[in-house]
Amino acid sequence: MNKVGFMGVLETKFKAHNALGISKKINKNWRWMFNYEHHYNGRIWVGWDPGVWQLSLHSSNAQCITCFATFLDKNITTLVSFVYAFNDAYDRVPLWNYCSNLNQYSMPWCLLGDFNYVLGIKEISGGMEHWTPDMQVFKVCVSDLGLGHVRTLGELFTWTNKHPQDPVLKILDRMIANALWFNTFTEGNAVVHHRGIMDHNPLLYEEPIQVKHFGKPFQFFNFLLHLPGFAALISRAWCLDCLGNPMNQFNFNLKNPKQALRVFNKEHGNLHNIVHIVRTRLAEVQNALVLTKLLS
């Protein structure tokens, strides 16, 4: 539905011998990489459409898969890290050290996924809302790496404990990036979608499509030939003076009659509007015929 071409899937809980079969059911044409060699549950899957993206593995561990990703349409290569951090603060320390080593690359770099911790008490609603040393560790790591949050839209909190009597909401999933990423992708947004039956919200990065605006093609209508004043109109438009070499003069003389004929068409009924009106009337008549047939 969202035309995703590149994604990370966390906490699949599929065993290694089922990974290829299950991933093919997601999309048989996609390619995949996993981190089963670092964790028996293969905590992270990365899949991509090879017609849109070219991926090569940089490194992986039990909490992260990092790859070089090239967007083929624009030939832009970035470093992308899909993160699924451990629950325990002590176990997350190797992840922060790993990220520090990645910071040496002078290229756009983003990290996204479940970091399993918040940056401050403002990212918690419900439960025990108090500051902890782990928040400071996470905050210092993000600051030291020079990372900032990608502009995020949608729901604020990305995780819930799903307890109706004692609900707790947190921002555990996020997308952060370095300055080179922001310089390269200036208009992108990270959109937090509805969680549905899950306890986490899907996070989707969207880069606005640059729509090319083309001018309307010139259409010449034969009926204009028979209208009074047609020949004089073309003569006046063609004979306007233009400075420059002969080719520039010729192009100028081609453009002038087009504009004059557009105005001429509108002054004599505007054929486009007439066609639209006739088509609308035709549709009304056809609908009336069907209705009459049904009632008879």
Written in H, E and C, the secondary structure of 67-134 is: EEEEECCCCEEEEEEEEECCCCHHHHHHHHHHHHHHCCCCCCEEEEEECCCCCCHHHEECCCCCCCHH
Residue 211 resides in a domain: no
CATH number at residue 38: 3.60.10.10
How far apart are alpha carbons 73 and 49 in whole angstroms? 12
Q: Report the sign of the C-alpha dihedral through residues 192, 193, 194, 195, in that order.
A: negative
- Mean pLDDT over 188-197 rounds to 88
What is the pLDDT, as a whole number, of residue 275?
80
CA 173 to chain centre: 18
Asked whether residue 140 falls in the same domain as residue 282, the answer is no
Q: End of a domain among 138, 171, 206?
A: 206
Q: How many domains does the chain have?
A: 2
Tell me the C-alpha distance between 173 and 183, whole Å: 23
- Looking at the domain assignment, is residue 212 inside a domain? no
Q: Which residue has the tokens 């790496």?
A: 145
What's the pLDDT score for residue 290?
46
**Once rounded to an integer, what is the mean pLDDT over residues 154-176?**
90
Residue in the block written with tokens 């600051």: 143
**49 plus 162 within the same structural domain:** yes
Same domain? 50 vs 192: yes
Q: What pLDDT, in 10s, does the model give residues 18-36?
A: 999 999 998 889 999 999 9
User: Which of 62-76, 77-91, 137-151, 268-282 is predicted least confidently?
Assistant: 268-282
Q: Tell me the average pLDDT across 113-129.
A: 88
The continuous run of DSSP H or E covering 232 comes out as: helix 230-238
> Domain of 145?
6-206
Q: Is 187 found in the same domain as 86?
A: yes
Is residue 162 in some structural domain?
yes
Q: Do residues 143 and 174 both lie within one domain?
A: yes
For residues 64 and 95, is the Cβ–Cβ distance under 8 A?
yes
Phi, psi (deg, nearest 5) at residue 269 = 105, -15
226 and 144 housed in the same domain: no
Q: What is d(CA 31, CA 19) in angstroms, rounded to the nearest whole number? A: 12
pLDDT, mean over the chain = 85
Q: Which of 152, 179, 206 is the last residue of a domain?
A: 206
Which of 40-73 are b and which e, b meaning 16 or more Cβ less than 10 Å from the residue's Cβ? eebbbbbbbbeeebbbeebebbbbbbbbebbbee
140 and 199, same domain (yes or no): yes
CA-CA distance, 137 to 99, in Å (whole number)? 13
Are residues 248 and 180 both part of a single domain?
no
217 found inside a domain = no
pLDDT 10s digits, 42-100: 899 999 999 999 999 999 999 999 999 999 988 889 999 999 999 998 999 999 999 99
Residue type, 236: R
User: Residue 54: inside a domain, yes or no?
Assistant: yes
**Mean pLDDT score, 114-142:** 87
- Note the residue count of the chain: 296
Statement to judge: residues 233 and 156 lie in one domain: no
Q: Is the pLDDT of residue 209 over 60?
A: no
Q: Residues 103, 127: one domain? A: yes
51 and 128 part of one domain: yes
Say if 124 falls within a structural domain.
yes
Domain boundary among 175, 206, 237: 206
- Domain-embedded: residue 250: yes
> In a 10 Å sphere around its CB, with 0-12 CB exposed, 13-18 middle and 19+ buried, how is residue 133 labelled?
exposed
Mean pLDDT value of segment 231-259? 74
**Residue 292 reports pLDDT greater than 60:** no
121-150: average pLDDT: 87
What sign for the dihedral angle of Cα 82, 88, 93, 94? negative
Q: Are residues 261 and 174 in the same domain?
A: no
Tally Cβ neighbours within 10 Å of residue 9: 21
169 located within any domain:
yes
pTM, entire model: 0.69
Q: In what order do the strands lie in the sheet with 152-154?
A: 152-154, 189-192, 203-206
